[in-house]
């Protein structure tokens, strides 16, 4: 692990409604360069708030957050967001813009020349495995859910960010699409040398895709580590979260013979 | 279409339509200029949003005619203030008050739809706009406004139709519009004009609505051609109405007329005399009686006919009644203080009079208002829109102890038919009205002189005080029009045929009273 983490949370706190609702409570967490971190927790656990603090969609009340070594409270939030990719739940595509318009939005905001944006859009369509000719000029409502989310990923990658934040990106997809998209993204993450933080409520998905998993509950960071490290955790809630993937794996293992000669 | 009134109506179309389009477009543009930024500012501020929408709704409940009429005195006062403090004045007549009132009227649909459209944008999309690194302004222009556009355009289209419709009501405050057809037609029972005006306004509203729809469609489907076609159509409409206005020689003299038949005839007569004398002249007909005097004083019109008793009571708030000659000379002095010239009397009186069917009056033995008093408790009376609030009515009631069972307000031209048919028992009519003879009605004598004299007098604006050419052109009319001639002229003008247009009747009247 390199000396400076790419994202570093230090004693970060955030509450809403004048302190009545504590969303994130004294969380310290480092994300190393090239790491794929999944943040798992139920609704209200503070995982989405934690993610948004990183690109200042939400401002922290307490503590410090550093991105690429810089204290985020000292950088222009607009510029910060343009250099961090963000994948929204169920796409968050602009309904009035074509696929190309959606993918090229951040480069456009950054003032790239039109030709360069156009070339980048083609490159990204290839990258997320969407046919250029077929999809370039379509509107979001003409796409399937999986295609929309591929466009969402392409949009996040358009301005060549080092960091990608993902807010339950595959949650609304059917299992097959979800699996394919997860795998495809994992490949992109590795090939492009990205640093990814992904929010999910699905422990199985987190374990399969991420290098490390952070477990949040009630705004606190409950556990953090690789699958093996989590397995050794003694916390009851962590154990409960791991029970489902474990049981699934056991039953599937029994049902599907390893050599495939069923 | 053999009826010459159609061609007469058509001849007015470039002028009326042009003015109508100009005032509507200016009002709509001003309304949008105010409403759109306000809506954008208010969209995230619930208190401001509520206040704005509430205010706009209240404006909407004010009848269009009243709203237009209110702007006239308001601007007049404002003009007086700017004249006193800033050294310049502006015309509170016609275009400006009409544009302001109509702009105000257009605000509700634009505000409401813009706010609705903007607040209807999916929060997830707004979040995405922020997340990809848009500034609030970029989010507004690149995401929120394009998404709200269809709803906004629907509001703009509603506003356009409202403004074009309501603009017909700007005639009484001196703005020429397609309403001139309607007001003139209603007064002179020229149904061809009324229909023509309504039809023209409806077609204009429809055309503008469709052009805006084309723009909306083009913007929504990113079809530059359609949007450009719509824009081009609107621009062509404006240009087409501007060209004749620019080509027309600028009239130097403006003759005013109030909103009843006699005034249309007399203004046509004066305009004909001025043009015969080689003075380029236009008429501004259908002006509200509270507007017309101020318009003359401000120099927005140059000449019109008023009635001594009307000025005495309404303009100068006298409640006492003087003998005819004394009232006239007093009035002349008072008017001179405002630099307005009482040029002379036309020779007839158009006084209020209590009128009822002759046969009924004979049956009941009613010949004077005093005779009426004992029957009044079982009778109903109708008057024009202002009569019952005028001091004369209070004077009559007091002098004769009159108390009617019911009191109704009516469009003057319908009153006579109403009393003739027994719909009401008595009306407060006008002595010069030709319908008195037509329906076989009688005017009841005012033995106690409760009704002041109403000599028809020609008034000149301050800047025409020493205009000898104008005076020479109008002098042949002074003292020449007696009550019989005016009654007949009014009767002719109230007819519903080709020879009853104010212009035709004015020519007839000149034949009768002019020098041979």
pLDDT tens readout for residues A18-48:
888 889 999 999 999 999 999 999 888 999 9
Q: Residue B250's pLDDT is what?
A: 63
Buried/exposed A38-50: b ≥16 CB within 10 Å, e otherwise: bbbbeeebbbbbb
pLDDT, one tens digit per residue, over B127-148 is 999 999 999 999 999 999 999 9
Nearest to A109 among B124, B128, B134 (CB): B134
Q: Residue B86's pLDDT is what?
A: 76
Q: Residue A250's pLDDT is what?
A: 86
Using CA atoms, how far apart are residues B383 and B354, in angstroms rounded to an integer?
Answer: 9
The average confidence (pLDDT) of chain A is: 90
- The domain limits of chain B are 4-247, 253-350+454-513, 352-443
Nearest to A82 among B125, B133, B147 (CB): B133
| Contact (CB<8Å) B133/A81 | yes
Q: What fold is seen in the domain B352-443?
A: D-Maltodextrin-Binding Protein; domain 2 (3.40.190)
Chain A residues within an 8 Å CB radius of B150: none
3-state secondary structure B239-301: HHHHHHHHHCCCCCEEEECCCCHHHHHHHHHHHHHHHHCCCCEEEECCCCHHHHHHHHHCCCC
Question: B123, B125, B128, B143: which to substitute to probe chain A, counting the most A Cβ within 10 Å?
Answer: B128
Greater confidence (A110 vs B251) lies with: A110
Query: With an 8 Å Cβ cutoff, is A149 touching chain B?
Result: no
- Which of A14-18, A84-88, B3-7, B198-202 shows the lowest per-residue confidence on average (mean pLDDT)? B3-7
Q: Residue B245's pLDDT is what?
A: 61
Chain B residues within an 8 Å CB radius of A160: none
Nearest CA in chain A to B129: A94
Q: Give the pair of three-digit tokens for residue A182.
A: 């997860």
Q: Residue B356's pLDDT is what?
A: 93
Summarize the confidence of residues A140-165 as an average pLDDT: 93
B380 pLDDT exceeds 50? yes
Q: Residue B307's pLDDT is what?
A: 92
Structural contact between residues A224 and A29, judged by C-beta atoms closer than 8 angstroms: yes
Q: Residue A260's pLDDT is what?
A: 54
B394 pLDDT exceeds 90? no
Interface of A with B in 155-214 (CB under 8 A): 155
For the ranges B288-297, B361-370, B445-454, the maximum mean pLDDT occurs at B361-370
Q: Residue B5's pLDDT is what?
A: 76
State whether residue B479 is helix, strand or coil: coil
Domain-embedded: residue A19 = no
Comparing B4-247 with B253-350+454-513, is the CATH topology the same? no
Using CA atoms, how far apart are residues A164 and A195, in angstroms rounded to an integer?
Answer: 6
3-state secondary structure B460-478: ECHHHCCCHHHHHHHHHHC
Q: Give the pair of three-digit tokens for residue B313.
A: 């009571």
CATH 3.40.190.10 corresponds to the domain B253-350+454-513: yes
Residues 6+ apart with CB under 8 A from A109: A82, B132, B133, B134, B138
B38 pLDDT exceeds 80? yes
* DSSP strand pairing (B455-460 vs B380-383): unpaired
Domain-embedded: residue A244 = no
Nearest to A94 among B125, B133, B135 (CB): B125
Chain B residues within an 8 Å CB radius of A81: 130-133
Interface of A with B in 32-61 (CB under 8 A): 55, 57
pLDDT, one tens digit per residue, over A184-229 is 999 999 999 999 999 998 898 899 899 999 999 999 999 999 988 9
Buried/exposed A198-221: b ≥16 CB within 10 Å, e otherwise: bbbbbbbbbbebbbbbbbbbebeb
Domain-embedded: residue A187 = no
For residue A107, give its domain range: 92-160
Query: With an 8 Å Cβ cutoff, is B123 touching chain A?
Result: no
> Å from A120 to nearest chain B CA?
16
Chain A residues within an 8 Å CB radius of B223: none
Using CA atoms, how far apart are residues B254 and B459, in angstroms rounded to an integer?
Answer: 12
Q: Residue B83's pLDDT is what?
A: 77
Using CA atoms, how far apart are residues B358 and A256, in angstroms rounded to an integer?
Answer: 112
Q: What band does A1 get if pLDDT is binned at 50, 70 and 90?
A: very low
pLDDT, one tens digit per residue, over B214-248 is 988 888 777 788 888 888 998 888 887 777 666 55
Nearest to A92 among B128, B134, B142 (CB): B128
State whether residue B221 is helix, strand or coil: coil
| Contact (CB<8Å) B131/A94 | no
| Contact (CB<8Å) B125/A78 | no
Query: With an 8 Å Cβ cutoff, is A82 touching chain B?
Result: yes
Chain B residues within an 8 Å CB radius of A82: 132-133
**What are the CA-CA distances from residue B260 to residues A178, B266, B474, B510 (Å)?**
79, 10, 21, 19
B289 pLDDT exceeds 80? no
CATH number of the B4-247 domain = 1.10.3720.10
| Contact (CB<8Å) B131/A81 | yes
Neighbours of B67 (CB within 10 A): 20
Chain A residues within an 8 Å CB radius of B128: 88, 92-94
Q: Residue B1's pLDDT is what?
A: 46
| Contact (CB<8Å) B133/A79 | yes
The average confidence (pLDDT) of chain B is: 87
Summarize the confidence of residues A66-94 as an average pLDDT: 91
Summarize the confidence of residues B256-275 as an average pLDDT: 91
| Contact (CB<8Å) A57/B130 | yes
Neighbours of A36 (CB within 10 A): 22
Q: What band does B2 get if pLDDT is binned at 50, 70 and 90?
A: low
**What are the CA-CA distances from residue B73 to residues A96, A157, B100 (Å)?**
48, 63, 13
Domain-embedded: residue A50 = no
Q: Residue B220's pLDDT is what?
A: 77
pTM summary value: 0.75
Nearest to B127 among A78, A82, A92 (CB): A92
A157 pLDDT exceeds 90? yes
- Which of A89-98, B102-111, B316-325 shows the lowest per-residue confidence on average (mean pLDDT)? B316-325
Greater confidence (B381 vs B92) lies with: B381
Query: Strand ranges (DSSP E) for B53-134?
Result: none
Q: Residue A262's pLDDT is what?
A: 46
Q: What band does B256 get if pLDDT is binned at 50, 70 and 90?
A: very high
Domain total of chain A: 1
A246 pLDDT exceeds 90? no
Summarize the confidence of residues B290-319 as an average pLDDT: 86
Summarize the confidence of residues A234-255 as an average pLDDT: 86
Question: What is the percentage of chain B residues whose pLDDT exceeds 90?
Answer: 37
> Å from A106 to nearest chain B CA?
6
């Amino acid at each position: 692990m390199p000396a400076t983490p790419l994202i570093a949370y230090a004693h970060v706190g955030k509450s809403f409604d004048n302190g009545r609702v504590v969303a994130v409570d004294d969380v310290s967490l480092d994300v190393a360069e090239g790491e794929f971190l999944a943040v798992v927790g139920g609704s209200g656990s503070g995982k989405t708030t934690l993610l948004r603090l990183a690109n200042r969609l939400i401002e922290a009340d307490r503590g410090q957050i550093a991105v690429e070594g810089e204290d985020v409270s000292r950088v222009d939030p607009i510029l910060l967001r343009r250099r961090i990719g963000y994948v929204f739940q169920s796409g968050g595509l602009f309904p009035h813009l074509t696929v190309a318009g959606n993918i090229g939005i951040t480069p456009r905001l950054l003032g790239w020349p039109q030709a360069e944006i156009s070339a980048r859009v083609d490159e990204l369509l290839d990258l997320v495995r969407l046919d250029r000719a077929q999809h370039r000029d379509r509107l979001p409502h003409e796409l399937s859910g999986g295609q929309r989310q591929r466009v969402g990923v392409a949009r996040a990658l358009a301005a060549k960010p080092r960091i990608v934040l993902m807010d339950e990106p595959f949650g609304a997809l059917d299992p097959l699409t979800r699996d394919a998209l997860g795998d495809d993204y994992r490949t992109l993450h590795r090939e492009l040398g990205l640093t990814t933080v992904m929010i999910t409520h699905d422990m199985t998905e987190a374990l399969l895709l991420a290098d490390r998993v952070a477990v949040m509950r009630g705004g606190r960071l409950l556990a953090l580590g690789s699958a093996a490290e989590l397995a050794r955790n003694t916390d009851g809630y962590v154990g409960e979260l791991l029970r489902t993937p474990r049981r699934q794996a056991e039953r599937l293992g029994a049902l599907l013979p390893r050599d495939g000669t069923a | 279409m053999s009826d010459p009134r159609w061609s007469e109506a058509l001849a007015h179309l470039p002028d009326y339509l042009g003015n109508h389009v100009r005032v509507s477009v200016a009002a709509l543009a001003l309304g949008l200029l105010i409403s759109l930024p306000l809506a954008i500012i208010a969209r995230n501020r619930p208190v401001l949003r509520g206040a704005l929408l509430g205010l706009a709704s209240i404006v909407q409940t004010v009848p269009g005619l009243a709203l237009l009429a209110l702007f006239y005195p308001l601007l007049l006062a404002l003009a007086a203030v700017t004249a006193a403090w800033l050294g310049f004045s502006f015309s509170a007549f016609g275009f400006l008050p009409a544009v302001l009132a109509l702009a105000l009227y257009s605000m509700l649909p634009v505000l409401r739809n813009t706010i609705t459209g903007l607040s209807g944008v999916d929060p997830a999309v707004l979040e995405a706009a922020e997340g990809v690194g848009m500034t609030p302004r970029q989010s507004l222009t690149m995401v929120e406004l394009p998404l709200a556009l269809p709803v906004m355009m629907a509001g703009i289209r509603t506003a356009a139709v409202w403004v074009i419709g309501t603009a017909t009501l700007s005639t009484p405050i001196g703005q020429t519009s397609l309403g001139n057809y309607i007001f003139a037609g209603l007064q002179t029972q020229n149904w061809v004009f009324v229909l023509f005006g309504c039809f023209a306004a409806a077609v204009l509203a429809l055309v503008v609505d469709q052009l805006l729809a084309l723009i909306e469609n083009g913007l929504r489907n990113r079809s530059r051609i359609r949007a450009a076609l719509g824009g081009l159509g609107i621009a062509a409409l404006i240009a087409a109405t501007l060209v004749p206005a620019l080509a027309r020689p600028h009239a130097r003299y403006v003759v005013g007329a109030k909103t009843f038949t006699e005034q249309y005839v007399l203004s046509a007569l004066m305009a004909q005399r001025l043009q015969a004398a080689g003075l380029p002249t236009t008429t501004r007909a259908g002006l509200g009686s509270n507007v017309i005097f101020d318009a003359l004083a401000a120099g927005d019109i140059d000449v019109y006919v008023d009635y001594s008793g009307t000025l005495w009571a309404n303009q100068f708030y006298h409640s006492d009644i003087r003998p005819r000659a004394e009232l006239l000379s007093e009035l002349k002095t008072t008017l001179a203080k405002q630099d307005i010239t009482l040029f002379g009397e036309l020779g007839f009186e158009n006084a209020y009079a209590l009128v009822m069917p002759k046969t009924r009056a004979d049956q009941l033995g009613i010949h004077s208002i005093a005779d009426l008093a004992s029957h009044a408790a079982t009778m109903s009376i109708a008057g024009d829109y202002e009569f019952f609030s005028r001091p004369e009515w209070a004077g009559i009631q007091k002098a004769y102890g009159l108390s009617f069972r019911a009191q109704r307000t009516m469009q003057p031209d319908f009153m006579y038919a109403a009393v003739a048919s027994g719909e009401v028992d008595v009306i407060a009519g006008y002595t010069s009205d030709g319908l008195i003879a037509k329906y076989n009605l009688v005017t009841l004598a005012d033995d106690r002189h409760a009704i002041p004299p109403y000599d028809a007098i020609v008034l000149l604006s301050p800047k025409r005080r020493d205009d000898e050419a104008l005076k020479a052109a109008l002098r042949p009319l002074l003292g020449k029009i007696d009550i019989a001639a005016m009654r007949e002229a009014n009767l002719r003008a109230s007819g519903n045929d080709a020879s009853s247009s104010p212009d035709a009747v004015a020519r007839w009247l000149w034949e009768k009273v002019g020098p041979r």
